[in-house]
């Protein structure tokens, strides 16, 4: 009996898109509603009021991270931070091009752990990282960005 491959097609595995492949993205833009600002130390000092942490804008923490290097743009030279922010469904995350134009939005309110929980599990609720004095996140590895989980922003073609 002859096999007919059209009756039983094999699943085709799609290769993962890596950062830079998904719509030309090179940046991760974060807008996280931090519940407890004191869950960070900046230059070794507890940031009890959230007044020491760079990239704060009102009640949001808004770093822009280069996907290839883990460098936070506009991070003040010489500033270190140990961050363990509880976000609790109060965050938005975008992939953006070099100019910061938003191309795709993370589909959900949970923190994308595979990108923003460095060296620990964040369970979708925590941003965990240590930032060196040069603005680079310790232990950063260029993340594998898969298309699923990201929604294209209208007019981003």
pLDDT tens per residue across span 17-45: 344 457 689 999 999 999 999 999 999 99
Domain annotation covers residue 21 = no
- Residue 44 belongs to what domain range? 27-141
Name the nearest CA neighbour of 137 among 81, 84, 71, 89: 71
Quick one: pLDDT at residue 1?
A: 44
What distance in Å separates the CA atoms of residue 98 and residue 13, rounded to the nearest whole number?
Answer: 30
**In-domain check, residue 83:** yes
In a domain, 13, yes or no: no
Structural domain includes residue 12: no
d(CA 17, CA 154): 20
Cα–Cα distances in angstroms (integers) from residue 64 to residues 2, 8, 71, 138, 152, in the given order: 57, 46, 8, 16, 18
- Tens digit of pLDDT for each residue in 38-56? 999 999 999 999 999 999 9
Q: Is residue 156 part of a domain?
A: no
The tally of domains found in the chain comes to: 1
Residue 34 inside a domain? The answer is yes
């Amino acid at each position: 009996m002859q096999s007919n491959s059209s009756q039983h097609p094999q699943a085709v595995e799609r290769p993962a898109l890596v950062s830079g492949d998904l719509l030309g993205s090179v940046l991760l833009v974060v807008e996280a509603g931090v519940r407890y600002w004191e869950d960070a130390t900046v230059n070794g000092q507890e940031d009890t009021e959230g007044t020491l942490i760079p990239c704060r804008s009102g009640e949001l923490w808004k770093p822009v991270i280069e996907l290839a290097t883990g460098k936070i743009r506009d991070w003040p030279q010489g500033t270190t931070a140990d961050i363990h922010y509880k976000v609790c469904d109060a965050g938005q995350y975008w992939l953006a091009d070099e100019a910061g134009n938003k191309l795709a939005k993370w589909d959900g309110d949970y923190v994308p752990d595979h990108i923003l929980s460095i060296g620990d599990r964040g369970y979708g609720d925590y941003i965990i990282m240590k930032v060196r004095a040069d603005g680079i996140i310790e232990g950063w590895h260029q993340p594998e960005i898969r298309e699923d989980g990201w929604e294209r922003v209208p007019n981003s073609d």
